[in-house]
């Protein structure tokens, strides 16, 4: 009787062994993908910080340079998170890439809105002095748009606001040139692109929640 029981146990274990191997291999694959994603996000963040530190008061920074830096500092993490969730969900490659693009555009919209609020919100609301980035020489999107229309802004920035009132004048030029509104338009465009990526998902709570995240980011503009 005992011998028969041992035989049955050995038989069951033998049958289950391949399943165990498959589970271990699959789980290891997910762990590897996760760790590679974390490493890439860390590399991107470090790259973004270096880009920012080496371009202070540089009026020749392009809008594309700004977007690349913003991707590295902010959007990379969100894109990796949304794609990672898609990978663990076992969806198709097309959906994985769409979720990556969703996270990237959501992250860019978030960063652009954050840079706009640095000009439009009060110091009490921000928890720091307004226009802190501009004062430190970090030229964000509203400033880059303003530089396209206000040549005088370049002089104020390149002299690092050495004279009293220079910073206030620079802030005024950002508003007067339409730099804030142009940045708002790009933030909304990135939000729209993020929403477009969600068409690949079925209607339901999950999709509505992801759409709500875009709405939350853009609602901060008002």
Task: Report the distance separating Cα 169 and Cα 180, nearest Å.
Answer: 15
The pLDDT value given to residue 87: 85
pTM higher than 0.85: no
Please choose, from the candidates 93, 72, 63, 94, the residue with its C-alpha nearest in 3D space to the C-alpha of residue 189. 63
- Would the pLDDT of 138 be above 70? yes
**Total Cβ atoms within 10 A of residue 78:** 24
Domains by residue range for the chain, with CATH: 17-219 (1.10.600.10)
Q: Select, from the ranges 2-16, 46-60, 149-163, the one with the highest average predicted confidence (pLDDT).
A: 149-163
The pLDDT value given to residue 88: 81
Q: Which residue has the higher pLDDT, 43 or 132?
A: 132
Percent residues over pLDDT 90 in the chain: 66
Residues contacting residue 59 through CB under 8 Å, at least 6 positions apart: 139, 147, 153, 154, 157, 158
Residue 17: which pLDDT band, with cuts at 50, 70 and 90?
Answer: very low
- Would the pLDDT of 139 be above 90? yes
């Amino acid at each position: 009787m005992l011998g028969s029981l041992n035989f049955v146990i050995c038989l069951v274990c033998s049958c289950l062994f391949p399943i165990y191997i498959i589970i271990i291999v699959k789980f290891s694959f997910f762990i590897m993908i996760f760790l590679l994603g974390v490493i890439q996000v860390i590399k991107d963040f470090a790259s973004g910080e270096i880009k920012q530190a080496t371009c202070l008061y540089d009026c020749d920074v392009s809008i594309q340079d700004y977007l690349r830096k913003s991707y590295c500092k902010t959007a990379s993490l969100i894109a990796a998170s949304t794609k990672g969730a898609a990978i663990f969900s076992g969806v198709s490659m097309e959906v994985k890439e769409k979720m990556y693009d969703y996270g990237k555009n959501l992250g860019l919209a978030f960063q652009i809105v954050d840079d706009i609020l640095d000009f439009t919100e009060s110091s009490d609301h921000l928890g720091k002095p307004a226009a802190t980035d501009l004062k430190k020489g970090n030229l964000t999107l509203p400033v880059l748009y303003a530089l396209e229309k206000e040549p005088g802004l370049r002089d104020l920035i390149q002299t690092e606001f050495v004279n009293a009132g220079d910073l206030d004048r620079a802030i005024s030029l950002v508003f007067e040139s339409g730099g804030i509104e142009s940045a708002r338009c790009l933030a909304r465009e990135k939000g729209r692109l993020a929403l477009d990526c969600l068409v690949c998902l079925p209607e339901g709570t999950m999709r509505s929640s992801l759409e709500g995240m875009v709405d939350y980011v853009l609602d901060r503009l008002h």
